[in-house]
Amino acid sequence: MTGQQFTRARSESAKQQRQAAITDAARGLAASRGIREITLTDIAAAVGMHKSAMLRYFETREEIFLHLTADGWREWSADVRAALATIEPGDADAVAGLLARTLATRGMFCDLLAQAPLNLERRVSVDAVRDFKTVTHAELDAIVTAIQRVLPALSASNGVDLIAAITAMAGVFWQVATPGPEIAEFYLTDPLLGHAVLDVEPRLRRITGYLLHGIETSEK
């Protein structure tokens, strides 16, 4: 699609189609090159729209990626809640494994989780942050409610703390596990730096298990 083909949206449905095209282009670029490397110009070129025209739909590149982060929360929440329905009541280890696995297999979401508070939320309007937080809080509450069906002793506040902690760790661990190619090669060739080669899922599963068992003990 060329920039000439992209006429200005005249209706709400047309605007939503434009926004979807923009976020889809950003998602594809981020998957191949990483979020930090993608500019507004890159997204505009991928979608076939002049950069200035894109500002009618998103105020900054950060808002585009904040939308993708909200989508990531919705998708992760839906998958977690569906899988929790298959876990036997009281099986905290299975819950820990599920949370770790579903985060570790979502590399872009983990990247976005790290980027959101550090960069994305700082370069958008208050309204954009409000919209984003409304989505994340709703999905967080939904996940906690689903976990409580498996682990009834888990209080809502401790459940919120658990999800806040593991999503923060997932974002950090993914950054550590995916350095640039030169640094990755350096880690692999220096025996003293073997600890820097991080496998996200096992570490996240262990720590999530510790947190859940610690919470269980404190709530007895």
Q: Which domains does the chain have, with CATH numbers?
A: 1-58 (1.10.10.60), 60-218 (1.10.357.10)
pLDDT(194) > 80: no
pLDDT(77) > 60: yes
Average pLDDT value for residue range 92-115: 97
**Dihedrals φ, ψ of 202, to 5°?**
-60, -40
| Predicted TM-score (pTM) of this structure | 0.89
Which ranges of 11-155 would DSSP assign to H, the alpha helix?
12-33, 40-47, 51-54, 61-84, 92-104, 107-118, 126-150
pLDDT(32) > 80: yes
pLDDT(3) > 50: no
Any idea what the Cα angle at residue 139 is, between residues 133 and 145, rounded to 5°? 135
Instruction: Tell me the percentage of the chain whose pLDDT exceeds 70.
Output: 93
Where is pLDDT greater, at 188 or 23? 23
The pLDDT confidence band at residue 187, using thresholds 50, 70 and 90, is confident
The pLDDT confidence band at residue 4, using thresholds 50, 70 and 90, is very low
Q: Are 93 and 156 in contact (CB under 8 A)?
A: no
